[in-house]
Amino acid sequence: MIGRIGRCGLRPRVGRLAPAWLLWCCGLAPALAASTSDRLLAENCNGCHGTNGVSAGPTIPSFAGFDRQYLIRILQDYRDGERTPTIMDRIMRGYSGPEIRRIATYFAAQPWIGAAVVTDPRIQATGEQIHDQVCAECHEQQGRHQDRDTPRIAGQWPDYLVLQMQTYRDRPEAMPQPTKMLDAMAELSDDEIQALAWFYAAQP
């Protein structure tokens, strides 16, 4: 009898089931299922923002590895109409609060990959001077610092940074920003904004 059971392959089948059983006993299978579900939810963003939040388009921001609380706030702002109407506000209206938190959790866990750009050293040096004089107090570590209120801008696409900074300067009502940020942008010319954007884009 034992020999026949062995030949029927019951033992190998039990062996294949054992890992799944262990996952459930250890509580890992629900976590893996949740992780997969979060990934599928976040995949809706890949069409514009690139796989796992790493943008391939110069006017679209990357946000892989961003602070989770920052992402939640920004996505909720779009959903609630607190930012300039774009396709983002229409998209985010379709997500609930828990779904937004899951999306933010997923992208916050992804590795940051900076934009691949080649910069002019002279423009970059000018941008660094402006950064040191105007921006360094909040955007520490040459733009690498981030927290729930401050996004990483080092390694971001320069075209995107230019568009954002010009919006802060020319249409301050379009996006909620600290007064200090708006005051700093109001003093910058287009050329200075360009230099600053290329400086940040060049940072690893």
Sequence ranges of the domains in the chain: 2-32, 44-108, 121-201
- How confident is the model at residue 130, as a pLDDT? 98
Is the per-residue pLDDT at 14 higher than 50?
Answer: no
Banded model confidence at residue 35, pLDDT cuts 50, 70, 90: low
Average pLDDT rounded to a whole number, residues 161-184: 90
Average pLDDT rounded to a whole number, residues 63-82: 94
CA distance 135 to 143: 9
* Superfamily for domain range 121-201: Cytochrome c-like domain (1.10.760.10)
pLDDT tens-digit profile of 123-151?
Answer: 999 999 999 999 999 999 999 999 999 99
Q: Which CATH architecture has domain 44-108?
A: Orthogonal Bundle (1.10)
- How confident is the model at residue 83, as a pLDDT? 82
Which residue did the predictor score with more confidence, 128 or 82?
Answer: 128
CA distance 146 to 35: 24
H helix runs in the chain, sequence order:
2-8, 10-26, 28-42, 46-49, 68-79, 87-92, 97-108, 121-130, 140-143, 158-170, 179-186, 190-201
